Structure 1
Amino acid sequence: MTTPLELAVLDMAGTTVLDDGVVEQAFQRAAERTGVADRMPWAEALDYVRVTMGQSKIDVFTHLSGGDALAAARATAEFEGAYAEIVEEQGVSEIPGAADAIQGLKDAGLAVVLTTGFAPVTRDVLLNGLGWGDLIDLALSPVDAGRGRPAPDLVLTALLRTGATRVSAVAVAGDTTSDVESGRRAGAGFVAGVLSGAHDHRALSAAGADAVLADVTGLRGVLAERGLLPLVSRV
């Protein structure tokens, strides 16, 4: 018997929030300002940043710094500052249709939690810029959960904080392999990859996605097709 979903856990940058290269720009500014990636060629460092999109930023900088925790902490702070600078310079936009997609999931009876590898200060800059404070039920960063992706902590914390009754009643969607792996490790009932961000169809499928969608606007439809939406909605 299919378990009706109670909760959708959605990634932010690349899934619901338009990235447009901002994460890479912020990483480059942080690396230039701190020298955290000087131990390797920049092309190699940037490739690692791309592969690890979605993961906790301090974990990424810890690798780039060769395990130097102090250097990683400085670089992470610079990254968060650089990201805020770029958002102020360029503004922030949603993935087209994302707000309506979130509202559609809520109207179908689901709680919606946004998760991110960003620190709360950067996360909140994005949410405030989009005016999404009243749209979502909750937003979580790694510091709120324990570990960042691909660990299951963000998904499981979202479940606990919203009162969802079981992990099989959780849907997860994100644009990176880390998002998909996090959902799989948590035991989520449905895990979707989306092609609006960092990783391609092959990578998302290999990570274990139940479906790979063009973007988050297709999520409610595929959940309905599979009989995963609640029988009683909020409206």
Structure 2
Amino acid sequence: MNTVTPTPGDIRLVVLDMAGTTVADGGLVERAFAAAAAELGVEPGSARHAEHLAHVRATMGESKISVFRHLFGDEERARRANTTFEKAYGALVDEGLIAPVPGARETVEELAGSGRTVVLTTGFARVTQDAILDALGWQDLVPLTLCPADAGGRGRPFPDMVLEAFLRTKAAEDVTQVAVVGDTSYDVLSGVRAGAGLVAGVRTGAHGDAEFRPAGATHVLDSVADLPALLTGAR
């Protein structure tokens, strides 16, 4: 059977992460985690807190409830932590502490203008995702936004949100026509597992080259703003 290796120009659907990729949040995840940890009796400065924070950093991009299930064990404690985290992060968003990554909105608009479909995804709950979209005035920026609950609840590093975007938008005929872009190894791994033709890590967030390449990234970019040039062959 003949196989055709996809090129960047073949991409019809672009699945973009939010915090760290298209949205600059200045470390708000760690600040919100501190509030969640305190709710569960984990004292700032303690060895346990440091251990938990290291896990949060390593698993950036994963569904937050999954992270808390790992850290706190039983479902009730995980949900308490997750609720506190979402409230704390939402309050920080309401304080105006997030902004678009420079060139992110223009990138989305350029991709859409070239006939590609763009979907925004997150590891946050829907309430937090909507708060971010509202704060940035991005409610109508893309035709579809997804959180883990929209795709069965597993979130990254599973491929579910990427495949959900593929199925819902019908923008691509084959998963090799999908690009996945994010700032964490879990973003990259979710794209690889989905069979995306282009999987790029961006250096504006939690992880860098040392994490992207082992996870299977086909490209590493300084910023999401570099994506249109890559897709048109100008980069």
TM-score, normalised via structure 2 length: 0.92
Who is 2:231 aligned against?
Answer: 223
SS in 2 for 1:199: coil
Who is 2:37 aligned against?
Answer: 31
SS in 2 for 1:53: coil
Who is 1:57 aligned against?
Answer: 64
After TM superposition, give the deviation of residue 220 of structure 1 in Å. Answer: 1.1
After TM superposition, give the deviation of residue 59 of structure 1 in Å. Answer: 0.5
**Aligned letter for 2:53?**
L
After TM superposition, give the deviation of residue 40 of structure 1 in Å. Answer: 6.2
Q: In structure 2, do the counterparts of structure 1 residues 187 and 28 end up closer, same or farther at CA, with 3 Å as the change threshold?
A: same
Aligned partners of 2:95 and 2:234: how far apart in 1?
42
CA deviation string 1:71-112 (max 9, x = no partner): 001111111000011112243210011000111111111100
| Paired residues of 2:16 and 2:22 also in contact (CA < 8 A) | yes
Deviation beyond 4 Å, 4+ runs, structure 1: 36-40
Give the alignment's Cα RMSD to 1 decimal.
1.8
Number of residue equivalences: 226
| 1:92 and 2:98 matched | yes
Who is 1:210 aligned against?
Answer: 218
Alignment of 1:1-235 (within 5 A): 1=4, 2=6, 4-35=10-41, 41-65=48-72, 67-146=73-152, 147-163=154-170, 164-225=172-233
Who is 1:233 aligned against?
Answer: none
**Aligned letter for 1:153?**
D
| Paired residues of 2:69 and 2:75 also in contact (CA < 8 A) | yes
> Structure 2: any 5+ residue segments left out of the alignment?
none
> Structure 1: any 5+ residue segments left out of the alignment?
228-235
Aligned partners of 2:196 and 2:41: how far apart in 1?
39
TM-score, normalised via structure 1 length: 0.92
Aligned partners of 1:222 and 1:198: how far apart in 2?
22
How many percent of aligned residue pairs carry the same amino acid? 53
